[in-house]
Amino acid sequence: MSPRQRRDQPYKYQRVAADLEQLAAGLADGERLPVTLDELAQMHGVSAAVALQAAREVEAAGLIEVRHGAGMFARKFTPLLRHGSRRLSRDQWESGPGIQAADAENRAREVDRIEVTQEQQPPLAAAALGAGPVVVRRRRYLIDGRPVQLATSWLPSSIAAGTRIAEPDTGPGGTYARLAELGHAPARFGEDITARMPLPAEREALALPRGRPVLEVTRRAVTADGRTIEITVMVLDAAAYVLSYDIQA
């Protein structure tokens, strides 16, 4: 008789999720929640599956992290400001310590898992470099001990092979300083930004909690005469970064 009306009551898992949010709000970053999933289920008179579903929702919203076997932990964060315009200005890499330093204010930064190879077939992203063999640099960046970025760079072997660019440590000023010394100074850059959910391997390498997106930044370095000499694809923990750009009207 009465017309079926849309459900207006929240589901149980939503009420439990709201409660969990409250619990997490009062805690500092990384602090463990004072309840377990089982307790939460009992408190609300629901089954364990429902408590878990609620926890997943709150985790997806970025407020807690659910760790297998360990418990639930509050999550807050201060993202790192990554300044797209300033950080790529010539003086940053010409004499400075490299462009990563332009970001990480006073925070401990590291690079690990550096890997340099030569490959024949560049992937799609690197097609702009031309058809020849390429030097590929892969590495991972950490801030305050936490992995926040994966980066892969492609350069034509004709330019980079046998130079310091093909070594793990590229020296002061990094790759762009070396390119300048070799007569291929970047004159301008283009950055393309998208966001998406991470692939399993990325989740693993960045130790991402479930439900955390990544930013994918593709940078092209172009010389004054219009040649693309380097392409870098960066995958960033979205919660760890704010990307900032200046634009002239």
The verdict on 114 binding its own copies (CB under 8 A) reads no
Residues 179-198 that bind its own copies (CB under 8 A): 185-197
Q: Angle at CA 84, nearest 5°, toward 231 and 113?
A: 50
Taking the least distance from each CB to its own copies, the nearer of 137 and 184 is 184
The verdict on 214 binding its own copies (CB under 8 A) reads yes
If you write DSSP's letter for every residue of 73-136 in order, what string do you get?
A: EE----PEEEETTGGGSHHHHHTSS-GGGGT-TTS-EEEEEEEEEEESS--GGGGGG-SS-EEE
The verdict on 247 binding its own copies (CB under 8 A) reads yes
Q: Minimum distance from CB of 136 to DNA (Å)?
A: 31
Question: What residue 37 binds from its own copies, DNA, none (CB within 5 to 8 A, per partner kind)?
Answer: DNA
Question: Stretches 56-64, 108-116, 155-163, 225-233: which one binds its own copies (CB under 8 A)?
Answer: 56-64
Where does this chain bind DNA (CB under 7 A)? 4, 6-7, 9, 11-13, 36-38, 45-50, 52-53, 55, 66-72
The verdict on 207 binding its own copies (CB under 8 A) reads no
**Number of shown-chain residues binding its own copies (CB under 8 A):** 40
User: Residues near 222 by Cβ (< 8 Å), separated by ≥ 6?
Assistant: 186, 187, 188, 189, 190, 228, 229
**Rounded CA separation 231/127 (Å):** 9
The verdict on 234 binding its own copies (CB under 8 A) reads no
**Rounded CA separation 85/243 (Å):** 10
